[in-house]
Amino acid sequence: MDTVSKFQQVYGRRPMVETRAPGRVNLLGEHVDYNQGVVMPVAIDRAVTLAASSAPDGIVTLHALDLDARTSFRISEIDRRCDVEGRPLPLWAFYPAGVAWALQQAGIPIIGIEAVYSSDVPIGSGLSSSAAVEVAFATTWQALSGFSMDKLTLAKLCQRAENEYVGVSSGLMDQFASVFGEEGHVLCFDTRSLEWSTLELPPTTVIVIADSGIRRSLSGSAYNDRRAACEQAVQLLRKVLPGIQSLRDVSTVEFAAYCTYLPPEIARRAEHVVKEIHRVEQAIIALKRGDAPRFGGFMFASHKSLRDLYEVSLPELDYLVEIARGLPGIYGARLTGAGFGGCTVNLVADQSSAQFVQGLREGYRLKTGRETEIYVCKASQGAEARRVNDL
């Protein structure tokens, strides 16, 4: 049942708007977004779909279809993180509540809503299911409340919701990709200048995402430790490179010269970031030339760096990459997202995709005894809300 029909079943009337906000997969540039580097995400054709209408009395009622869970909270009591009866909000509700909080913090008056939503973006897989939820609700509130806001500001407010309300120190890439996605294209997003451009994906390729089945929680993970290590590396390198603002400012040559100023673990973390930023620069050139094999080579190199230097991989992710390396049609593969579980992303020749999927699934089962969910994806359009009467 679609969300419009489900809304009518739950609330007894048709919704006013239906919103779609996609998840994302990052093709290259992992853990560089909070180091002011350039990232290369793609909005995928798996998304959060939300149906909603305005509601009286400033109450937000959420019905999460996938969880079969429901809660309500007052906009005036968002700071308390409690429902209308004073009980703590469930964690899944922090994402829409955080968006309402961030909009209020920005001085945007918002209204109560009734909503149902569903997602086919796997939770905890590194495909930004949380950002898709945030962007879906922000886009819905904009459609229902009528406030004017440019897309980048909306993405930033969704990021603030995740950083300050949910408590996850994520960069802007996830929300940006969900808002700005373009069909058939990869986004090249400069997280320092916030400038962006698009590059067409090689037309004879598809994006294949393989889920390791290992779930992770960013809030309690080593993600924040990696971020702190990067900040520490910048502080130490400033002794010899006083002008640097972030690891973005450190060239591969400079790092080779001065990495001995860093403790071994900090040096490994920084080396990944410095070289990953350089890989992105070279990969953009390859993509402009339509050189899928060269671009794929950078993906393989990225995974090795994430495994050995940043140490955010797991054996299951490594198995998926190594199995993919030996299959027909493969150009490149690597873990995607923060790591510690989740998915790998593969760039594959379109004509070989069915054979590739079968080989990857069988190989993973033989190696681990586990099943892998595999998604053949296309680059999709970013978030949009439509009036139900116009559908």
**The residue type at 133:** V
How many other C-beta atoms are found inside a 10 Å radius of the C-beta of residue 288?
A: 10
- What DSSP letter does each residue of 203-229 carry, written as one string? TTEEEEEEE-S----STTSTHHHHHHH
Q: Which of 45, 174, 249, 318 is catalytic?
A: 174
- What DSSP letter does each residue of 215-284 carry, written as one string? ---STTSTHHHHHHHHHHHHHHHTTT-TT-SSGGG--HHHHHHHGGGS-HHHHHHHHHHHHHHHHHHHHH
End-to-end CA distance of the chain: 16
Q: Tokens standing for 207?
A: 């994006």
Beta strand 205-211 with 330-336 is unpaired
On whether the CB atoms of residues 169 and 101 are closer than 8 A, the answer is no
- What DSSP letter does each residue of 97-113 carry, written as one string? HHHHHHHHHTT----EE
Q: Backbone dihedral region of 75: left (phi > 0), alpha (psi from -120 to 50 degrees) or beta?
A: alpha
Catalytic (active site) residue 174: yes
Element housing 156 (H / E): helix 151-160
Place of tokens 């590194």: 126
C-alpha to C-alpha distances, 29 to 127, 188, 230, 282, 308, nearest whole angstrom: 14, 10, 15, 11, 16
On whether the CB atoms of residues 193 and 322 are closer than 8 A, the answer is no
Beta strand 112-119 with 59-64 is parallel
State the angle between helix axes of 151-160 and 129-145 in degrees (0 to 180), rounded to the nearest 10: 120
The residues carrying an active-site annotation are 174
